[in-house]
Amino acid sequence: MAALSFEGVSYAYPGAARPALAGVDLAIEPGQLVLLVGGSGSGKSTLLRAALGLVPHFHGGELRGRVRVGGLDTREHRPAALARQVGLVFQDPESQLVMGRPDREAAFGLENLGHPAGEIAVRAREALAAVGAAALAGRPAAALSGGEAQRVAIASVLAMGQPILLLDEPTSQLDPVAAEELLGLVVRINRDRGVTVVLAEHRTGRLFAEADRVIAMEDGRLTVDAAPPVAARALAASAPWVLPPVAQAFARAGRPELPLTVRAARSLVAAPPPAAVPAPPPFPAAAGAVKAHKRLGDVDALAGATTAFERGRVTALVGENGAGKTTLARAVCGLLELDRGRIDPVPARAGYVGQDPAHYLLHDTARDEVAYALRNLGVPAPERERRVQGGLARLGLDGLGDRHPRDLSSGERQRLAIAAVAVMEPELLVLDEPTRGVDGLHKLALVELARSLAAGGTAVVVVTHDMDFAAEAADVVTSMAAGRVLSDRAPRTLLASGIFFVSQLGLALGRASQADAAALLRVADRGWRSGADVASPPRPELGPPARLESWATPTPDERPAAAARADGTANG
């Protein structure tokens, strides 16, 4: 019997014009690890909610077809009953912790299911230990970081011992290190405990090759449902942005192989070290800080930071959590007073897009939201309308102008927040973690936006943990630690050679961006054997390389998932 099955399932939220799920047929076997990919609003979250009966029992709306979980029909059983079979971890850690402490959080579900009192404490502790959160047990929930809170959320579901675990973009609020740890944990839970896992995720680099199946969704329908290598081939043509970054680079270069992991990419191409690239010539600074000091609570958030953000450049501001990136960004935008030091130069107009897009939702339509800043600036109505239309279109929101902002998906909200600030055409624009919850396609749009704004003379600063995004968008990289600037305006190739702050392509090929990697791969195909400027790469010992065109007609059994996982290569 399938652990989870959908039979002809269609569903529309109350008042929605179009269905969130449209004719979904799906059966997931016990013990499988399924990766669910697709753009924002494609139906991934709704599918997971339907599996737990939250759709329609919690959200209302009309559900057609049948969803069965462990043999139980979700129409006939409420989520409280289905919770014995299936657990769901949501996107936002802050909105899913109910209790004030992690140990009580882990006990909450067990109490609801009526477990004996003596058993609850033991299982809660074990679950916390299993996710490496035992040390957090007595801490206040409000003091947990995003990564810690998400671990606790997983522990609280794990403690309930359900055979099926669903995760809805669990890493969207996390930095890359925390995300990597969490995804590793999910794989361990599946492999070691035999728990069926269905995970919706934008960051596919870690999990694509590990999954037993990859399911892609678009407009509420399943478009791909296959083993990772087969799915990769299909998606390389239709939606390459959902592939792991290394696979994207190979597809972009027109290479026949599609490695799904860093290791597999390395086995295919022995990349020479990148040539030293100087930082681009300096442009006039739009804003900067000189020996900036700021104390927040008991912490020196800024301890003498000095830097400048140049017009016409995209600067990636990177550093670990607590390095002072956001504090510096807010200070140069005039949103924070320094204790010592100065902001110099002071930007004539600065825009800051913070980490929570919900803070930018003040109006009843997306159009009004974008117009708000222009009204405050006294921009005349005709010009305002023109700039609003342009702002919406630039961020891929042109069809959503009349929608209520709070009806938008998390990725759409993020883009709306950026549009609402960028429309002011500020001299300095700071985007603080702009890729949270944003799918690969719109991440590319963000790269284009940052570049086009910089091309127009804006100083664009992206504060980010997303090294792949930073590598694509940035001209220069400024890294911070302990409130100080460690390296100022380094070339973006820094992101290919770092140890901690390094893109996937940097790890695999020693190149920071997709364009650099694709250029390398094209050269590798043509010139390496000539020995002109690079060493000849060893040929992968994976059988004869398949041609891209031969991937058009894959058969599910031509390459078993387990074998594909072993080498992580979609090589047909």
Partner 1 sequence: MKPLPAALLTGPPLLAAIAAWSPLWLAAATVGAALLLAAAPPPRRLYAVTAIGSGLVVFAINPFVSVQGLTLLWQGPHIPILDTQVTVEEVAYGAGAGMRVAASALAVAAFVRLADPDLLLRALARVAPRSAMIAALATRMLPALERDAAGIVTAARTRAARMSSPRTAAGLLGPLLASSLERSLGVAEAMEARGYGGPRRTRAPERGMRREEWILTAAGAAALGLVAAALVLGTTDFRYYDTLGDPWRPAAMAGAAALAALLTGAATVVRWPR
Site string for partner 1, 393-412 (x = CB under 8 A): -------------x------
CB closer to partner 1, 417 vs 521: 417
CB of 39 to partner 1, least distance (A): 22
309 binds partner 1 (CB under 8 A): no
Contact between 447 and 460 (Cβ < 8 Å): no
Q: How far apart are CA 531 and CA 546, in angstroms?
A: 24
Could you say whether residue 141 binds partner 1 (CB under 8 A)?
A: yes
Measure Cα distances from 487 to 279, 484, 503 in Å: 12, 9, 17
Contact call for residue 535 and partner 1 (CB under 8 A): no
HEC string of 241-260 equals HHCCHHHHHHHHCCCCCEEC
Nearer to partner 1, 363 or 522 (CB): 363
3-class DSSP assignment, residue 440: helix
CB-based contact 208:228 (threshold 8 Å): yes
State which residue, 140 or 284, has the beta carbon closest to partner 1. Answer: 140
Q: How would you class 119 by CB atoms within 10 Å of its CB: exposed for 0-12, middle for 13-18, buried for 19 or more?
A: exposed
> Is residue 114 at the binding interface for partner 1, with CB under 8 A as the rule?
yes
Single out the segment in contact with partner 1 by CB under 8 A; choices: 301-309, 337-345, 351-359, 441-449. 351-359
- Whole-number minimum distance, CB 166 to partner 1, in Å? 9
CB of 142 to partner 1, least distance (A): 5
Q: How far is the CB of 383 from partner 1 (least distance, A)?
A: 15
Q: Are 443 and 280 in contact (CB under 8 A)?
A: no
Distance in angstroms (rounded) separating the CA atoms of residues 179 and 193: 21
Q: Among residues 110, 224, 231, 249, which is the contact residue for partner 1, using CB under 8 A?
A: 110
Verify binding: residue 80, partner 1, rule CB under 8 A. yes
294 binds partner 1 (CB under 8 A): no
Rounded distance between C-alpha atoms, residue 23 and residue 249, angstroms:
34
Asked whether position 348 contacts partner 1 by CB under 8 A, the answer is: no
Contact between 367 and partner 1 by CB under 8 A: the answer reads no
Which CB, 309 or 360, lies closer to partner 1?
360
Decide if residue 99 touches partner 1 (CB under 8 A): yes
If phi > 0 it is left, if psi is from -120 to 50 it is alpha, else beta; for residue 465 that is alpha
Q: Is residue 117 within the footprint of partner 1 (CB under 8 A)? A: yes
Q: Which residue has the tokens 């997306």?
A: 366
Tokens describing residue 62: 């009309």
- Examine residue 160 and tell whether it contacts partner 1 (CB under 8 A): yes
Asked if 484 contacts 496 with a C-beta cutoff of 8 angstroms, the reply is no
- Interface mask toward partner 1 for 28-57; x: CB under 8 A: ------------------------x-x--x
Can residue 463 be called a binding residue for partner 1 (CB under 8 A)?
A: no
Whole-number Å distance between alpha carbons of 141 and 128: 14
Minimum CB separation from partner 1 for residue 367, in Å?
A: 15
One residue of 208, 309, 352, 469 binding partner 1 per CB under 8 A:
352
- DSSP for 262-289? HHHHHHH--PPPPPP-PPPPP--EEEEE
Residue type, 405: P
> In whole angstroms, how close is the CB of 222 to partner 1 at the nearest point?
23
d(C-alpha 154, C-alpha 152), whole Å: 5
Rg (CA), the chain: 24
Among the listed residues 90, 208, 309, 551, the single contact to partner 1 using CB under 8 A: 90
Among 44, 84, 233, 511, binds partner 1 (CB under 8 A): 84
Q: Among 377, 455, 535, 563, which residue interacts with partner 1 (rule: CB under 8 A)?
A: 377
For helices 366-376 and 381-394, what crossing angle results, to 10°?
130
CB 38 within 8 A of CB 56: no
Residues 54-73 contacting partner 1, CB under 8 A: 54, 57-58
Q: Which member of 113, 270, 277, 279 binds partner 1 (CB under 8 A)?
A: 113
Footprint of partner 1 (CB under 8 A): 52, 54, 57-58, 78-81, 83-84, 87-88, 90, 92, 94-101, 104, 107-118, 120-121, 124, 140-142, 156-157, 160, 330, 333, 335, 350-354, 356, 358-362, 372-373, 376-377, 406, 417, 420-421, 424
